[in-house]
Structure 1
Amino acid sequence: MEWIEDGDLDFLKKRKVEAKEAAQQSVQLIIEKVKAEGDQAIRAFTKKFDGIELTDLRVSEKEVEEAAARVPQEVRRAISQAAANIRAFHEKQMPESWTETVEDGVLLGQKVTPLDSVGIYVPGGTACYPSSVLMGAIPALVAGVGRVVLISPPQKNGLIADGVLAAAREIGITEIYQAGGAQAIAALAYGTETIRPVDKIVGPGNLYVMLAKKQVFGDVAIDSLAGPSEIAVLADDSAHPSWVAADLLSQAEHDKMSMPVLITPSRSLAEEVDKEVERQLETLPRRDIAEPSIETVGKIVLVKDLKEAAEAVNKIAPEHLELAVADTESVLPLIRHAGAIFLGMYSSEPVGDYFAGPNHIIPTNGSARYASPLGVDSFVKRSSLIRYTDEALQKNGSAIAAFARYEGLEGHARAVEKRLKGAAVHD
């Protein structure tokens, strides 16, 4: 890992992965093909990119049941427990409609309405992410979205991963399709003969998925344009070096471009963590992925004290932040920008990835400066409510008309003045 001791965080300028023009053009062509040819294009791209010939795009109830039965009972129990935790957490987020009556009988308020339909993209192909099913779909279900659709690429055996289907079954998702990459995003956005379009698309994916979400945004809503995973561990001398190293590697194994960062005022801890990372890498099954992340992106930021450490965190605005310090309560108020904050030595980042309840779809690339994790509010919209009375309009109409006329909008002014007693009527 690269050491930084001068406070220079210039590496942050380079963490955003820019797509080459060829990749952007390729995604655009895929989207146009799906819009024009529908199911036929989905099948053609699945054969081209995944080497699989699809018959039915939709996964049958029987296939879901059979897949769930193949998942080890211990894992099914873990999925069930995690789903309960995630639901309980997100139920506390539900916004409410409200109204109030103010002076002169004026009614103001907001009406909260769930989206009609949402598509949950779950990565797959060579991996299995049932946690992505739970994190993407449960907030939508809690919000009351009427139609929640799951789409995921098939594995080499021609089927979506068993764990993904088991998680979908656990939470009651029945509309499931086999497709991946940019073609899956296009199908959700514009529809095919088999797949009806949705209003919003959420979920992580590779570069081509991200580019496709970027291109369809505006025709549909999206959650975010996610980049490689990030973790910052702010640690003092009370931290256990091997635990910190393991947590850094837990994100490094996601992607060669994942960003693991240790921030500490303790040189001795930094040296021990650096050694531990190298030692643990030797036996890590995904070493071929984690090692490039550690060597080319990983950083150890040495600071003078915890206040300076918090300032570094706020500049990084990491996706995941662990406060591996003796007194988390004194450091937490100093943190302004982080997607998910893990407090204390036993709050390892994977606890949040899978089980605790908060969402693991979190802003990356520094967007935690202005964005929040996926939640129930991601799946509802607010409508303003306004009911003016005659008394209120007579009192305030002249001011409203003056405001409108000042902006050069005579039609606005006249629309109000026609209702005012004694005002000039513009016929």
Structure 2
Amino acid sequence: MKITRLATTAPDFDDSLQTLLHWSEDTDAGIEQAVAGILAEVRAHGDAAVLARTAQFDGVQAASVTELEIPRADLQAAFEGLPADQRLALTTASERVRRYHKAQAEACCQGFEFTDAQGNRLGQQVTPLDRVGIYVPGGKAAYPSSVLMNAIPALVAGVPEIIMVVPTPARRDGSSQGSRGERNPLVLAAAYLAGVHRVFTIGGAQAVGALAYGTATIPRVDKITGPGNAYVAAAKRRVFGQVGIDMIAGPSEILVLADGTVDPSWVAMDLFSQAEHDELAQSILLCPDAAYIDAVAAAMERLLPEMPRAAVIRASLEGRGGLIHTRSMEEACDISNRIAPEHLEVSAAQPRQWLPHLRHAGAIFLGAYASESLGDYCAGPNHVLPTSGTARFSSPLGVYDFVKRSSLIDISAQGAQALGPVADTLAQGEGLQAHARSATMRLA
């Protein structure tokens, strides 16, 4: 396997690292044009446009959008019909995700008030969004974990209505033609457990448009979250401002910060876990022990043939993977901060020793047993994470994404006397006389 190897002692290391990290975010002009047309159709024609595009792209024919909505009883039936092991796994993951986000809400989503010396009461009121939409990929892939990670924090936040859209394309042999398409029972069961209120079997840019603009059947939402293909990402980018969105995600990433004490086979498989997503995913190892890097590389060569997605893993690692030899763990931490990875594993004997050195990462996994895959499914924290270095300024999806904050300003008569002259002076300085007069009219 021809994976890039770098050393921080090399004079061209900085340039080589930038080359390794580079990822073009240029959007395809054809996709942008197609998405713009679809969104315009949905905005103008509502349900009719959604039905036409669903028939075109998913092969699902329906007389009305109502036929594309899945009753909650069907979601419950899907859950109850799962094999016992799947039902237990989904329930366990759901409970852990819910518990984590309840703790998150208590820690960072509370209102407050205080009274100052003049008797003014100032504070913050936190209220949930009225309605949110979550997009869940469908078709070949099934992502029940995405349902849990997007819906549960919204429910914990107190959002009264969660609308889920998921494409259910017809099978190529035509056996599932009609208004159903191919529905994944795990995804429907996850929607039931997560408390989703309504589910529509639509996808693509037309689903994003329906959520953003509303139709006769699908209500307009305040925010859209969840992953999708290039068409979905382009649509979310275009409707931002009409509604809120979570983020525009780039390729998945993992960075393993290793001190050489963890089984190299474990680290190799952790690097594979992101590489298997697609050819643009990025897996990087930072380590001060050259012999250990060799051991990880050898483990990768040995384990790769066992992987069903070996071709994708190889393409990802050879195209964007990296094994980087650092001078020290401290330097490795500094480079990690420069990269600001989506997933950061600290594979070290004393992982918390390095935590104060790490400032930028979507999620930090501490210790030999904290594999990134546990975070994807069932550890509890959200797996919707910032990518492409955006962890420098953004955070995982959370309860705070489904609430908004309103400032509370309750001014006493005494406070108006004290603050009025201050506002008057500043407003006059800005040339805004009505502002100044508004404050001074209240002076005794």
**Class of the TM-score when normalised by the shorter of the 2 chains:** over 0.9
Whether the 8 Å CA contact 2:21–2:320 is kept in 1: the answer is: no
Whether the 8 Å CA contact 1:12–1:316 is kept in 2: the answer is: no
Q: Which residue of 1 aligns with 2:6?
A: 4
Q: Deviations over 1:315-357 (max 9, x none)?
A: 1100000000112122111101000000000000011111111
Whether the 8 Å CA contact 1:340–1:362 is kept in 2: the answer is: yes
Whether the 8 Å CA contact 2:155–2:195 is kept in 1: the answer is: no
Q: Which residue of 1 aligns with 2:376?
A: 353
What is the CA-CA distance between 1:186 and the residue it aligns to?
A: 0.8
Q: Which residue of 1 aligns with 2:430?
A: 407
The answer on 1:19 being equivalent to 2:27 is: yes
Shift of the 273–225 alpha-carbon distance from structure 1 to 2, 3 Å rule, reads same
Q: Which residue of 1 aligns with 2:337?
A: 314
Whether the 8 Å CA contact 1:230–1:251 is kept in 2: the answer is: yes
Whether the 8 Å CA contact 2:226–2:246 is kept in 1: the answer is: yes
Q: Deviations over 1:227-246 (max 9, x none)?
A: 11100001121021110010
What is the CA-CA distance between 1:313 and the residue it aligns to?
A: 0.6
The answer on 1:147 being equivalent to 2:161 is: yes
The answer on 1:277 being equivalent to 2:291 is: no
In 1: Cα distance, 2:90 partner to 2:216 partner: 33
Shift of the 295–13 alpha-carbon distance from structure 1 to 2, 3 Å rule, reads closer
The answer on 1:174 being equivalent to 2:182 is: no
Whether the 8 Å CA contact 2:147–2:194 is kept in 1: the answer is: no
What is the CA-CA distance between 1:54 and the residue it aligns to?
A: 4.1
Shift of the 339–16 alpha-carbon distance from structure 1 to 2, 3 Å rule, reads farther
In 2: Cα distance, 1:45 partner to 1:312 partner: 46
* Number of matched pairs: 421
In 2: Cα distance, 1:237 partner to 1:163 partner: 39
The answer on 1:91 being equivalent to 2:102 is: yes
1:2-401 to 2 correspondences below 5 Å: 2-5=4-7, 6=10, 7-8=13-14, 9-11=17-19, 14-54=22-62, 56-94=67-105, 95-155=109-169, 156=171, 157=176, 158-401=181-424
- Between the aligned residues of both structures, percent identity stands at 46
Q: Deviations over 1:186-238 (max 9, x none)?
A: 11101122211100000111111111110000000000111111000011210
Shift of the 287–50 alpha-carbon distance from structure 1 to 2, 3 Å rule, reads farther
Q: Helix, strand or coil for the counterpart of 1:93?
A: helix
In 1: Cα distance, 2:37 partner to 2:83 partner: 41
Whether the 8 Å CA contact 1:314–1:336 is kept in 2: the answer is: yes
Whether the 8 Å CA contact 2:257–2:287 is kept in 1: the answer is: yes
TM-score for both structures, normalised by structure 1: 0.95
Whether the 8 Å CA contact 1:16–1:227 is kept in 2: the answer is: no
In 2: Cα distance, 1:145 partner to 1:201 partner: 13
Q: Helix, strand or coil for the counterpart of 1:318?
A: coil
Whether the 8 Å CA contact 1:110–1:383 is kept in 2: the answer is: yes
TM-score for both structures, normalised by structure 2: 0.92
In 2: Cα distance, 1:301 partner to 1:389 partner: 62
Q: Helix, strand or coil for the counterpart of 1:321?
A: strand
Amino acid at match of 2:395: S
Structure 1 gap ranges (5+): 422-427
Shift of the 60–229 alpha-carbon distance from structure 1 to 2, 3 Å rule, reads same
In 1: Cα distance, 2:101 partner to 2:76 partner: 27
Whether the 8 Å CA contact 2:72–2:198 is kept in 1: the answer is: no
In 2: Cα distance, 1:144 partner to 1:390 partner: 36
Structure 2 gap ranges (5+): none
In 2: Cα distance, 1:379 partner to 1:360 partner: 16
The worse-fitting range, judged by mean Cα deviation, of 307-316 and 390-399 is 390-399
Shift of the 54–250 alpha-carbon distance from structure 1 to 2, 3 Å rule, reads farther
Whether the 8 Å CA contact 1:16–1:365 is kept in 2: the answer is: no
What is the CA-CA distance between 1:24 and the residue it aligns to?
A: 1.1
Whether the 8 Å CA contact 2:139–2:182 is kept in 1: the answer is: no
What is the CA-CA distance between 1:16 and the residue it aligns to?
A: 4.1
In 1: Cα distance, 2:210 partner to 2:311 partner: 33
Shift of the 314–54 alpha-carbon distance from structure 1 to 2, 3 Å rule, reads farther
Q: What is the Cα-based RMSD across aligned positions, in Å? A: 1.5
In 2: Cα distance, 1:118 partner to 1:345 partner: 37
Q: Deviations over 1:253-296 (max 9, x none)?
A: 11211111111111111112122223322121122322211110
Q: Which runs of 4+ in 1 moved over 3 A?
A: none
Amino acid at match of 1:30: I
Whether the 8 Å CA contact 1:159–1:178 is kept in 2: the answer is: no
In 2: Cα distance, 1:60 partner to 1:250 partner: 35
Whether the 8 Å CA contact 2:161–2:197 is kept in 1: the answer is: no
Q: Helix, strand or coil for the counterpart of 1:326?
A: coil
Q: Deviations over 1:30-86 (max 9, x none)?
A: 111111222222232223223333452211234324433442211111111111111
